[in-house]
Structure 1
Amino acid sequence: MHETPYEITTLNSHPGPGNGPRHDAVILPADLPPGVQVVTLPGGIRTLAYTQPTTPNAHPAPPARPIPTWARTTALLTPTIGGGIAAAGAGLSYAAPGLIAMTHALWATAALIAAGTIAVPVIRGTARRRTANPAHITQNITATGMFGRANGTINHH
């Protein structure tokens, strides 16, 4: 890049002894080259100075991409899922006393079944032992001939 040299002069607004007559040329703002501005220094002297040019972005911003469908769907479903989980938690907190009572009932039922499987054979065994003499049953059957009628008697002792 080739820069064009410009002569920058200082406007002397305070003529005095030794300053001599003013020979400064007046430059109109339209005649200023690019990057040059009239600035006022801290001492009050107005002068021309190069300013930092604003550099345009070398790369323009990429165009906005649309939001993917899966991301939009997920973002829309998130409050619904969170609300469902919150409702389930509230429902469980309300149902907790009933669930606790049901677990106690289930444990009681399991204990009853376990006790029944042990107690029934024990009770049967003790009921059989009460009758010390078991009953004796005898049966006598008599028949005459090959196709004759059979008669029998049953005796309980």
Structure 2
Amino acid sequence: MHEPTRTRTTEPARYGDPVLYPTAIRQPAMPLAELPPGVEIVTLPGGYRALAYTQPAAPAVAPVGQPIPAWAKTTALLAPTLGGGIAAAGFGISYAAPGLIAMTDALWAAITLIAAGALAPLLLRAGRATGGRGGAPVQHVTQNISASGMFGRASGTLNNR
């Protein structure tokens, strides 16, 4: 549906020309000054002009802004900081992951070394005690190693007693 177009101009002379429009209905033209308030000349979709009652345009009212609460400002300022901190932590963890894997491998190796050092004497004594001879004599092995300089060749002696 078409809305009429509002104009406040006088009717063109071509509509009043009996040569161009011999079948046009001739109505007396009303001066624009005599139009009552709320009445205007409108152009209809077919090109005809007519008088019509119009609604006065409502004045635009600007919305009244409300102040922003302090907690909202604080939250808005902290959100990027918190997000940046989380991003930095994730970035650091991604770089530290290979080192953490290596450290866990080293930790397991240290745990097995400690466990082997603690259990080895118990297993050796248990193995010697079997055989019915009682405990075997304890052997002492000493080793002396010396080297000259940082990259010098090491030499040493081994004593079994």
Please give the TM-score of this superposition, normalised by the length of structure 1. 0.55
Unmatched runs of 5 consecutive residues or more in structure 1: 1-10, 135-157
- Counterparts of 1:49-128 in structure 2 under 5 Å? 49-55=52-58, 63-127=64-128
Unaligned stretches of 5+ in structure 2?
Answer: 1-10, 136-161
CA deviation digits over 1:24-64, x for unaligned, max 9? Answer: 36333x4322221012446655432223443568xx66521
Cα 1:66–1:117 shift into 2, 3 Å: same
Query: How far 1:76 moved relative to its partner?
Result: 0.9
How far the C-alpha of 1:14 sits from its partner, in A, is 4.7
Change (3 A) 1:90 1:44: closer
Letter in 1 for 2:104: T
Query: Are 1:13 and 1:45, in contact at CA under 8 Å, matched by a contact in 2?
Result: no
What aligned pairs does 1:39-58 form with structure 2 within 5 A after superposition? Answer: 39-41=42-44, 45-55=48-58
Structure 2 match to 1:7: none
CA 1:118/1:13 → structure 2, altered by over 3 Å: closer, same or farther? same
- 2:30 aligns with 26
Of 12, 16, 38, which residue of structure 2 is paired with 1:13? 16
Sequence identity (%): 58
**Structure exhibiting the larger radius of gyration computed from Cα positions:** 1
State the SS of the aligned residue for 2:16: coil
1:35 aligns with 2:29: no
Query: TM-score under structure 2 normalisation?
Result: 0.54
The total of aligned residue pairs comes to: 120
Give the distance between the partners of 2:110 and 2:118, measured in 1 at CA. 12
**Residue 126 of structure 1: how far off its partner (Å):** 3.6
Give the superposition deviation at 1:72.
1.3
The whole-number CA distance in structure 2 between the counterparts of 1:110 and 1:67 is: 59
Corresponding residue SS for 1:63: coil
Superposition CA RMSD, Å: 3.7
**Cα distance, 1:110–1:50 mapped onto 2, change above 3 Å:** same
